[in-house]
Amino acid sequence: MRTNRLLPLAAAAALLLSACGGGESVDTGGGGGGGDDVLIAAVSAEPDQFDPHVTNAYASFQVLENVYDTLVVPSAEDLTMQPSLAESWTTSPDGLSWTFTLRDGVPFHDGSEFDSADVVYSFNRIIDEELTNAYRFATVSDVTAPDPRTVVVTLTEPTPNLLAQIGSFKGMAIVSENAAEEFDLQSEANGTGPFRLESSDANATVLTAFDEHWGGAPSIDGVEFRYITEPTAALTALRNGEIQWTDNVPPQNVADLEGDDEVELGSVTSVEYFYMSMNYAVPPFDNRDVRRAIATAVDREEVTQAARFGAAQPNQTAIPQGSPWYLDYAPFTPDQEAARQLLEQAGVQTPITMGLMVTDESPETVAAAQVIASQLEPIGIDVEIQEEDLATWLDRQSEGEFDAFMLSWIGNIDPADFYENQHLSTGGSNYQGYSNPQVDDLLSRAATEPDQAARKALYDQAAQLVVDDVSYLYLYNPDEVQAWAPGLTGYQVRADAAIDFQNVELP
Amino acid sequence: MTQLPAPGATPAAPPPAEPLPTTTPARPRWRETLGLLARNPTAAVSATVLVLIVLVAVFDETLAPYGPNEQDPSLQLQPPSRDHPFGTDEFGRDVFSRVILGAGTSLRVGFLSVAFALVVGTLIGLVAGYYGRWVDDTLMRLMDVLFAFPAVLLAIAIVAIRGAGPANAILAIGIVYVPIFARVTRASVLGVREEVYVRASRSVGASDWRLITRHVLPNAAPPIIVQTSVSLAFAVLAEAALSFLGLGPRRPNPSWGLMLADGRGFIEQAWWYAVFPGLAIVVTVLCFNLLGDGLRDVLDPRQRTLMAGGGR
């Protein structure tokens, strides 16, 4: 179960993954929020802090999603960018200047009025202090406010995915001007979202409805997030009525739950992807044929079945089916005979040993590794499964001390988020050491290509090379599975795993 | 040379076959012990079951109908059936085969770690008890330090420092049980050391080595034997605990503790996954314990007379 996904792709440690949540027990005493209609939601980990511009933890964003707004926001249906705090925007013909018209009459939680100065302050805070998501503003040269309702973003080069860069998730949230001086953003919040942050401690984080919200008052009085690490415990709490919602659902229970009257289930293929990667600096894995032999021997259907009990989509590329950026490309058909021939062709003396590094904090990888080990054994590759704690895992990854490793990323929305950091020669997360000038060229051209169709074509070409070279051996996109009490309405499971309780109504 | 009959129930002790503290006092006594053990039903049953488990561990690959990692995705989490008497796990592996193949891991770690503790602990106890004074003080205070840590906690700490794996698990569990053997041996040696036959032997010029191997050790052995059986129970349990925590053998090697850990998550859908490895641990540990109890009854002279007199 993922616990503490660090959100995406930051150059540094955007390793999306679970860190062991503290293992708190269920607090059955109802220390609720303001009114009676409080939604009690169980999440698997406690937020590390509440500064949206600093945190990298999924547990924090689960809460912040309901507290802050961004200029634009991904739609629940297909993750295309929709107006939020910005009502509309225009792009200059050269693509170097974007003008945003802001919504009128938006109050912050402290009563002050939202205007363009808040946007300038928020963006400059991220850029000037080089906070977690500063890399998303890499092409931004200037953010100005000609009048209270207008913000102009000036760029050094065309950035067709600017909307995704500033709106994918609440890491680019708009805080009130000088919020960092007026509030302790680590533990307080002053946003424009539908809920205000009331309190947070080791047992729960409590939100209360913000009735003056620009999109209308939420239908519930508040939300209480409780931390339940064990998925089975979360499910039991849901059945008992202690909680009304959870995203901590054991994959092996999904099939049973589908026919269960006591629990309602929502599921959608997420933008997360699991992959395996081999070290280009360690022979024989530097040999393309060896990597292709391994990619040919792996049967993704079997991996998915054992690791996710079918609650996932096998995929040979990163971007899930259903995304407008999806590429239908599956060059590998599981075939052990062909794999053996490829190995022979490569001139490799079998048996060879391959250490496969996984982490117990992502149990799916431990399961997937065992399936892959049994699939590679017949072609003469002896897989030694190395289970490490996440800290050691990350150390070994950055030191390059591995034959192969396995984990997942939340790819998010734009294809740049899926490929740049991992497969550019200079990519911050290119730990495998992949370097293909053609891919570098395609990715950098795609980054500035204004035409959507042409841009997709470039990313498609890059993705095909990445798959063919087996820079990553892509495995599957897991389903985002969430469960709630029957009768709870107005909630929708999203592919980007953002949790939005604004329109929820309790049974 | 000079062998005086031991007082009490112990007839003259012939030279032990090995230099190690083994169970070889006089043959008649050995037979007598076995006979008494056979008349103790719990011990007899336990011993039989243990022999069976050892046989299973020895012939594991012949007995297991499937390989430990033979996967079949179409047979995920199947309940017990004729083909799979203990059901299958999430990879479609046969739980029955894995329980059989896990016996070897558990017993190997159990036996080797206890052997380590037995050799090292007995040696320390012998030296401490026989020479006394500062040797005794130094060694036994060292043992006290080790003894102060809770057993499993100490084992976890050792494995955490040295890294996970069966070899380190053996070493860790071995080290944890050294002090127990040292104490038991020392206590026993202290009693034997002042016996008339030992003093007599010393007075005619027998060397320390000869005294220890010929007289002291054989006569101090019974409590050590009992301790060995009881320790085996704890060692198997400790191995399971370490494996459960991921500090023993690596996946996908079959190991009872690991299977228990993995099966725990499926207890609602597939009880057999955790229950059968759990049962294997329970039966093995219980049998070693009961056998230890039986041995104590038989080897403790007072208790023994009572039993020979026909009753329990």
B305 touching chain A per CB within 8 A: no
Tokens encoding A504 = 């929820």
What tens digit of pLDDT does each residue of A245-276 get?
A: 999 898 888 888 888 888 999 999 999 999 99
Q: How many CB atoms lie within 10 A of CB B196?
A: 10
User: DSSP character for B214?
Assistant: I
Q: Indicate if the pLDDT at residue A323 is higher than 90.
A: no
What tens digit of pLDDT does each residue of A417-428 get?
A: 899 889 999 988
Tokens encoding B183 = 């104490």
Q: Indicate if the pLDDT at residue A308 is higher than 80.
A: yes
* Nearest alpha carbon to residue A467 among A249, A358, A317, A307: A317
Q: Indicate if the pLDDT at residue A12 is higher than 50.
A: no
With contacts defined as CB-CB under 8 Å, which chain A residues touch B91? 306, 367, 370-371, 374
Domain positions in chain A are 1-28+228-268, 72-182, 273-479
Beta-bridge partners for B94? B88
A249 touching chain B per CB within 8 A: no
Looking at residue A108, its pLDDT comes to 96
Q: Indicate if the pLDDT at residue B13 is higher than 50.
A: no
Looking at residue A35, its pLDDT comes to 56
Which among A250, A370, A377 has CB closest to B251? A370
Tokens encoding A354 = 């391959």
Alpha-carbon distance of A444 to A438, in angstroms, equals 10
Provide the chain B residues 50-109 that lie in CB contact (below 8 A) with chain A.
69-71, 73, 76-77, 90-92
- What is the domain range of residue B297? 40-59+86-308
With contacts defined as CB-CB under 8 Å, which chain A residues touch B265? 232, 250, 252, 363
What tens digit of pLDDT does each residue of A67-102 get?
A: 999 999 999 888 889 999 999 999 999 999 999 999
Supply the CATH number for residue B229's domain: 1.10.3720.10
Looking at residue B268, its pLDDT comes to 82
Looking at residue B119, its pLDDT comes to 96
User: DSSP character for A378?
Assistant: G
As separate numbers, helices (DSSP H) first and strands (DSSP E) second, chain B gives: 13, 0
* Mean pLDDT, chain B, integer: 84
Which residue would you say has higher pLDDT here, B226 or B301? Answer: B226
- Provide the pLDDT confidence category of residue B220 given band limits of 50, 70 and 90: confident
Looking at residue B210, its pLDDT comes to 87
SS (H, E, C) B270-287: CHHHHHHHHHHHHHHHHH
With contacts defined as CB-CB under 8 Å, which chain B residues touch A336? none
Looking at residue B16, its pLDDT comes to 45
Whether residue B8 lies inside any domain: the answer is no
Span A341-347, average pLDDT: 92
Whether residue B94 lies inside any domain: the answer is yes
* Nearest alpha carbon to residue A17 among A301, A447, A406, A378: A406
Q: Cα distance from B265 to chain A (closest Cα, Å)?
A: 8
Q: Is A298 left (phi over 0), alpha (psi -120 to 50) or beta?
A: beta
Span A6-32, average pLDDT: 35
Q: How many CB atoms lie within 10 A of CB A181?
A: 7
Query: What's the pTM value of the predicted model, to 2 decimals?
Result: 0.81
Give the phi and the psi of residue B106 in degrees, each rounded to 5: -60, -50
Whether residue B220 lies inside any domain: the answer is yes
- Provide the pLDDT confidence category of residue B181 given band limits of 50, 70 and 90: very high
Q: Indicate if the pLDDT at residue B101 is higher than 70.
A: yes
- Provide the pLDDT confidence category of residue A476 given band limits of 50, 70 and 90: very high
Which among A256, A369, A374 has CB closest to B269? A256
Which residue would you say has higher pLDDT here, A166 or A56? Answer: A166
Beta-bridge partners for A363? none
Q: How far is CA A33 from the centre of its chain?
A: 29
A385/B250 Cβ within 8 A: yes
Burial of residue B153, with CB atoms counted within 10 A of its CB: 0-12 exposed, 13-18 middle, 19 or more buried: exposed
- Percent of chain A past pLDDT 90, that is, above it, reads 73
How far apart, in Å, are the Cα atoms of B9 and each of B12, B28, B196?
A: 10, 11, 15
Which residue would you say has higher pLDDT here, B183 or B206? Answer: B183
Looking at residue B163, its pLDDT comes to 82
Alpha-carbon distance of A296 to A289, in angstroms, equals 10
Q: Indicate if the pLDDT at residue A332 is higher than 70.
A: yes
Which residue would you say has higher pLDDT here, A500 or A34? Answer: A500
Q: Which residue of B has its CA nearest to A359?
A: B246
Q: Cα distance from A366 to chain B (closest Cα, Å)?
A: 8
Q: Which residue of A has its CA nearest to B247?
A: A387
A373/B91 Cβ within 8 A: no
What tens digit of pLDDT does each residue of A352-386 get?
A: 999 999 988 788 899 999 999 999 999 999 999 99
* Nearest alpha carbon to residue A179 among A112, A252, A272: A112
Q: What is the DSSP string of B31-58?
A: HHHHHHHHHSHHHHHHHHHHHHHHHHHH
CATH architecture of A72-182: Alpha-Beta Complex (3.90)
Q: Which residues contact A169 (CB under 8 A, 6 or more apart)?
A: A7, A8, A61, A65, A70, A412, A496, A498
Looking at residue A263, its pLDDT comes to 92
Q: Indicate if the pLDDT at residue B231 is higher than 90.
A: yes
Span B199-213, average pLDDT: 87
How far apart, in Å, are the Cα atoms of A74 and each of A65, A69, A494, B83, B248?
A: 12, 11, 10, 51, 46
What tens digit of pLDDT does each residue of B39-92 get?
A: 888 889 999 999 999 999 999 989 999 988 899 888 999 999 999 999 999 999
Looking at residue B9, its pLDDT comes to 41
Q: Indicate if the pLDDT at residue B15 is higher than 50.
A: no
B269 touching chain A per CB within 8 A: yes
Alpha-carbon distance of B82 to A63, in angstroms, equals 51
Alpha-carbon distance of B301 to B188, in angstroms, equals 13
Whether residue B186 lies inside any domain: the answer is yes
Q: Cα distance from B72 to chain A (closest Cα, Å)?
A: 9
Looking at residue B304, its pLDDT comes to 52
Q: Cα distance from A305 to chain B (closest Cα, Å)?
A: 7
What tens digit of pLDDT does each residue of A135-178 get?
A: 889 999 999 999 999 999 999 999 999 999 999 999 999 999 99
A391 touching chain B per CB within 8 A: no
A371/B251 Cβ within 8 A: no
Alpha-carbon distance of B246 to A386, in angstroms, equals 11
Amino acid at B198: V
* Residue the block writes with tokens 């708190």: A24
Span B159-165, average pLDDT: 85
A233 touching chain B per CB within 8 A: no
- Provide the pLDDT confidence category of residue B299 given band limits of 50, 70 and 90: confident
**Preceding omega of B252 cis (within 30 degrees of 0):** yes
Tokens encoding B96 = 């029955």
A448 touching chain B per CB within 8 A: no
Alpha-carbon distance of B200 to A23, in angstroms, equals 65
In this structure, which topology does domain A273-479 adopt according to CATH?
Dipeptide-binding Protein; domain 3 (3.10.105)
State whether the Cα torsion B187-B188-B189-B194 is positive or negative. positive
* Mean pLDDT, chain A, integer: 89
B252/A374 Cβ within 8 A: yes
With contacts defined as CB-CB under 8 Å, which chain A residues touch B159? none
* A275 neighbors A475 (Cβ within 8 angstroms): yes
Looking at residue A259, its pLDDT comes to 83
* Nearest alpha carbon to residue A277 among A72, A491, A421: A421
State whether the Cα torsion A233-A238-A240-A244 is positive or negative. positive
